[in-house]
Chains A and B, each alone.
Chain A
């Protein structure tokens, strides 16, 4: 077995309990169980949600608002202008129209692969760890082997053998899913092992519940934040992987994605002709979507590992203390009346105390 995961993987349940205790001590109202599974709103989470939301809306409704992406005009390679907001391709096709359809295609494949890969990793990670014994050893070995075999070269070889006619959306999706579930399965296995031996799981088992019910009702809810985070990562990885495949001409033959756009841009010599408006937007959409999902994932990480959340709160208090200290320095420089100064000093002391807690 390889040692790929941190030696001290956080146990969600223990951390969550610890946080609950801390909240009780601080005299705040305890959060309900469901509320604790949802991330707290931070500026970065808002940015992430806006990015992902905007691109998703663009992918859903954009195609209805733009013209035909395939229509050829005699104005090849015109820079962005009022008529064509993102310019035209070599054959005069509207880049914005292509972008709208391509975004839709990429999102479709991303979600499809995300669901498939998450299902695979959940099966191999949770089921194996729950059964234990031979099934666990076999599944764990399988995911470790899949982890060390480089994914994209394997995908390229598989796609290379499939004739172009039979290379549809589903083929690509399945191939991408099969090569990308392993890392998540390992993490889920570790988490399941720590949840499996809890009393309520044992109680459920002893009372004669079927294995699938124990897994779905007793174990799965504990793993939800982890699975959500893995799903988000799987979607990013799938969009990136599909873009790479399409870029080298091995994508699904019947779909238009952002990778396909880049493939045509590269083969239409967009780079050497200086047509930046042709190859910059597709990659930017991928990058911004991926960034948005990663920012959302940061917030999910704070649920999985509350230490990160405490860190953020600690940082906010530290900033507040620093601000008060600056104000105090300013106040003393101006040699204001004494009473105010001691007031500010007391504020600083209070803030320091809070941040030290």
Chain B
């Protein structure tokens, strides 16, 4: 139980740090976001009342009438109520609505692609590490090339060959625009068709890391005594591989999920830009180019929350599958 409490405690601290970072960044950096934002708002035909100004100032700083501490408390209170302000680039939509629209796209895309890459990489890695010296081992240096390829460049190359030259996949977008978004077969098939290229990009670019990590752990695990014992008992090689070696070797890969998820999310942000995908990443970049600071901060918070949440789940699962971690803490 102690282990789970500690984990929860850590994530509460991490969440607080993210919120505070979000509060501090606009206040520490040069420039005056509130004025830019209000000017944009007026261009869009919005009325600027003192209340709007105050709401933005709470989010982005620039309000000197109140002490910093009060601003901080008010900022946290607004966040608790789910009030992230009005988006300028999607005026008059609320930031929360814009996020709610784009979040499912990214969660499904990144989630599916990450799971596929992890399963593929760990399985391949287990086999490569199990039989060192076979032709599979020559895959290893090739994966370093894939790991060093910039996500967005891989996306460009795939888009060029598979979409433009071969015409197998559409070049841009998240679904066929003539269809109405909804839970019908036609729309879902279209979404899968459009999502295939971005997903392929993420899988290709991240599978190498999983493969390499698993392979190296496998090599270390094979010299453990319990593997030798299992072999000496006369167990079939398949059983040793599955139930003894890979089970133990996979633990660091699961534990390393946090780092890889951060990388994948970072990579997918830019990949979405290449494919004009209607997800979080595309919105974030749109918000940056339009100086839509409120949306920018909201999106950063949501991305951080999602990554923290996924890590919390993985950590709690890890405590279940590896009893040593619980015993140690």
Q: In the bound complex, what is the Cα–Cα distance between A250 and B33 (angstroms)? A: 17
Stretch at the interface among B80-88, B181-189, B225-233, B299-307: B299-307
Q: In the bound complex, what is the Cα–Cα distance between A1 and B319 (angstroms)? A: 12
Contacts of A301 in B (CB 8 A): 216
Q: In the bound complex, what is the Cα–Cα distance between A2 and B270 (angstroms)? A: 28
CB pair B14–A287 under 8 Å, yes or no, is no
CB interface residues, B 25-62, toward A, < 8 Å: 25-26, 29-31, 33
Q: Whole-angstrom distance from the CB of A289 to the nearest CB of chain B?
A: 7
Contacts of B144 in A (CB 8 A): 290-291, 294-295, 298
B154, B223, B285, B318: which has the most chain A beta carbons within 10 Å? B285
Interface status of B93 (Cβ within 8 A of chain A): no
Q: In the bound complex, what is the Cα–Cα distance between A28 and B270 (angstroms)? A: 53
- Chain B: CB-nearest residue to A289: B148
Contacts of B291 in A (CB 8 A): 160
Contacts of A157 in B (CB 8 A): 22, 25, 288, 296-297, 300
**Cβ 8 A contact of B160, one of A4, A276, A319:** A276
CB pair B300–A243 under 8 Å, yes or no, is no
Contacts of A166 in B (CB 8 A): 30
The A-B contact count (CB < 8 A) is 209
CB pair A147–B164 under 8 Å, yes or no, is no
Q: Whole-angstrom distance from the CB of A73 to the nearest CB of chain B?
A: 25
A4-B259 in contact given A158-B29, A294-B147 (Cβ < 8 Å): yes
Interface status of A283 (Cβ within 8 A of chain B): yes
Dominant secondary structure of chain A at its interface with chain B: helix
Interface status of B167 (Cβ within 8 A of chain A): no
Interface status of B284 (Cβ within 8 A of chain A): yes
Q: In the bound complex, what is the Cα–Cα distance between A262 and B159 (angstroms)? A: 14
Interface status of A315 (Cβ within 8 A of chain B): yes
Stretch at the interface among A59-67, A81-89, A218-226, A304-312: A304-312
Q: Whole-angstrom distance from the CB of B254 to the nearest CB of chain A?
A: 9
Q: In the bound complex, what is the Cα–Cα distance between A3 and B256 (angstroms)? A: 8
CB pair A305–B296 under 8 Å, yes or no, is no
Stretch at the interface among A191-199, A266-274, A338-346: A266-274
- Chain A: CB-nearest residue to B216: A308
CB pair B132–A154 under 8 Å, yes or no, is no
Contacts of B258 in A (CB 8 A): 2, 4, 147-148
B22, B133, B287, B325: which has the most chain A beta carbons within 10 Å? B133
Interface status of B173 (Cβ within 8 A of chain A): no
A3-B325 in contact given A8-B220, A291-B145 (Cβ < 8 Å): yes
Binary A-proximity of B280-324 (CB < 8 A = 1, otherwise 0): 000011011101010011011001100110010001001000101
Q: Whole-angstrom distance from the CB of B52 to the nearest CB of chain A?
A: 20
CB pair B153–A287 under 8 Å, yes or no, is yes
CB pair A147–B255 under 8 Å, yes or no, is no
CB pair B288–A5 under 8 Å, yes or no, is no
**Cβ 8 A contact of B255, one of A4, A283, A291, A307:** A4
27 of the cross-chain contacts (CB-CB < 8 Å) are: A2-B255, A5-B252, A6-B217, A7-B325, A141-B10, A144-B10, A145-B14, A147-B262, A150-B262, A150-B265, A153-B269, A156-B300, A158-B25, A240-B150, A243-B152, A243-B153, A247-B150, A247-B270, A247-B273, A248-B273, A262-B150, A271-B164, A274-B164, A276-B160, A287-B150, A290-B149, A301-B216
On B, residues with C-beta under 8 Å from A are 6-7, 10, 13-14, 17-18, 21-22, 25-26, 29-31, 33, 132-133, 137, 141, 144-145, 147-154, 156-157, 159-160, 164, 171, 216-217, 219-220, 223, 251-252, 255-256, 258-259, 261-262, 265-267, 269-270, 273-274, 284-285, 287-289, 291, 293, 296-297, 299-300, 303-304, 307-308, 311, 315, 318, 322, 324-325, 329
Q: Which A-B residue pairs are the 4 nearest by beta carbons?
A: A290-B148, A283-B153, A152-B266, A294-B144
Besides A1-B329, A315-B132, 15 other A-B contacts (C-beta < 8 A) = A147-B258, A148-B258, A148-B262, A149-B262, A150-B262, A157-B297, A161-B25, A244-B151, A244-B152, A247-B273, A271-B156, A279-B156, A283-B153, A283-B157, A305-B220
